[in-house]
Amino acid sequence: FDDPESVPESELRAEAGLVTEAAIPAHGKIREVKIPSILCASILHKGPYAELERVYRHLFRDWLPTSGYEAGDFPCFEEYLNDPRELPPTEWLTRVNLPLKGDA
């Protein structure tokens, strides 16, 4: 939820989730979150997760200001498209999604 370049590391907020076939009852900090059908700018990143900062920097600093779009009211989200236990970091695929205002 936060920009790591403007918020101290100890105050950064984030959530992690997974896609399931069945409903999982809420328990403690576990809750159901549905990603709405929204318009997104997406970048497919190939490489280590530690390099994702470059993707976000490009989306927010380079692409968004010149795109004619505004960031939407839903947090960015990442989709991890392969299993990092089965491949070297150079082969990891991550889709970074930046929700935008407008129709999907």
Q: Can you give the pTM of this predicted structure?
A: 0.83
Query: Longest C-alpha distance within the chain, in Å?
Result: 42
Give the pLDDT of residue 70: 96
> What single DSSP character describes residue 91?
G
- The pLDDT-based confidence of 104 (bands split at 50, 70, 90) is low
| Identity of the residue numbered 100 | L
Mind listing the pLDDT tens digit for each residue in 24-43?
A: 777 788 888 888 899 999 99
User: Nearest-5° angle of CA 41, CA 47, CA 53?
Assistant: 55
Give the pLDDT of residue 13: 83
Sign of the CA dihedral with 38 first, then 44, 50, and 54 last = negative
Sign of the CA dihedral with 8 first, then 58, 75, and 97 last = negative
**Mean predicted lDDT score pLDDT of the chain:** 90
Both tokens of 71, joined, read 């960031």
